[in-house]
């Protein structure tokens, strides 16, 4: 398709790993209620603290051509919200891009986008960040804010017990997602993989975490990929260990 405690990617940092976990192996008794509660936990899961990281976006086309885009991110956590900044370096004549997402529990995400030093007003959330396969809404995990959330089933994914969460929007934008399935790890409470479909039920993208491990009680992710099913193009985000920054407002 907001990646902190599991991955230093702001919304992803929290929602990919730090949400409160459901009971492992428990049956789904009320799909709508459990889906709404699970999505609410994912929306409100803030990173443990402010941090910075650097990494690279590796874009690979179906003919194996590659493009590498350096990226840095800063997460700032306050007592009431958290802000994430993603910034790429200019490459091969392409200008730098900066995406800022403000997350506040109980409120919708606020996005601002700039190319170089110039803000771009009314940028669609389906804009491809830095020409990669990550849309702005992928980085903000916007689909967890959609009105329809339902826990479909419990099943294994990559040897892990999971809940499959279905997120549906009644008014998809043309060419955008209408339905997203997310496999939520019962232990970590975060996303292991996701699939996004359009209004015609055609698969648009697949998202998958790479390797991760636990360090001092926190899950750390090494990389993740997102594949465009229409073009067979893939973007891998690999990153370094984040550097913790002091929180002056907590």
Domain at 114, CATH number? 2.50.20.10
Q: Positive or negative, the Cα torsion across 179, 185, 189, 191?
A: negative
Query: Percentage of the chain with pLDDT > 70?
Result: 81
Query: Percentage of the chain with pLDDT > 90?
Result: 61
Higher model confidence: residue 33 or residue 53?
A: 33
pLDDT class for 241, splitting at 50, 70, 90?
low
Instruction: Give the structural domain span for 109.
Output: 11-243
Higher model confidence: residue 7 or residue 121?
A: 121
Length reported for the chain: 250
**With 60 as the cut, is the pLDDT of residue 73 above it?**
yes
Q: What is the pLDDT of residues 98-154, one digit of tens each?
A: 999 999 988 999 999 999 999 999 999 999 999 999 999 999 999 999 999 999 999
The distance between the two most distant Cα atoms of the chain, rounded to a whole number of Å, is 54
Secondary structure E strands in the chain:
51-60, 66-77, 82-88, 97-103, 110-115, 118-119, 148-157, 160-168, 179-185, 191-197, 203-209, 212-215, 218-221, 223-228, 233-239, 243-244
Q: What is the pLDDT of residue 250?
A: 45
- The answer as to whether 3 is a domain residue is no
Domain total for the chain? Answer: 1
Q: What is the pLDDT of residues 88-101, one digit of tens each?
A: 999 988 999 999 99
Assigned token pair, 139: 């980085």
- The answer as to whether 196 is a domain residue is yes
């Amino acid at each position: 398709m907001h990646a902190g405690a599991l991955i230093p990617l702001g919304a992803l940092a929290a929602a990919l790993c730090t949400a409160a976990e459901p009971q492992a192996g428990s049956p789904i008794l009320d799909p709508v209620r459990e889906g709404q509660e699970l999505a609410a936990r994912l929306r409100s899961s803030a990173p443990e603290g402010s941090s910075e990281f650097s990494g690279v976006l590796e874009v690979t086309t179906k003919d194996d051509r590659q493009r590498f885009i350096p990226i840095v991110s800063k997460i700032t956590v306050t007592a009431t919200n958290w802000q994430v900044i993603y910034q790429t370096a200019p490459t091969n004549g392409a200008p730098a891009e900066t995406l800022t997402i403000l997350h506040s529990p109980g409120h919708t995400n606020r996005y601002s986008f700039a190319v170089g030093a110039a803000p771009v007003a009314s940028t669609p959330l389906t804009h491809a960040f830095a020409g990669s396969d990550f849309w702005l809404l992928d980085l903000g995990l916007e689909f967890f804010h959609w009105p329809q959330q339902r826990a479909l089933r419990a099943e294994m994914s990559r040897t892990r017990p999971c809940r499959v969460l279905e997120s549906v929007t009644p008014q998809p934008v043309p060419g955008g997602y209408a339905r997203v399935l997310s496999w939520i790890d019962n232990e970590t409470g975060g996303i292991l993989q996701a699939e996004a479909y359009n209004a015609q039920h055609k698969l648009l993208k697949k998202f998958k975490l790479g390797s991760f491990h636990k360090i001092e009680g926190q899950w750390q992710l090494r990389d993740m990929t997102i594949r465009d099913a229409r073009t067979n193009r893939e973007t891998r985000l690999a990153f370094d260990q984040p550097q913790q920054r002091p929180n002056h407002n907590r």
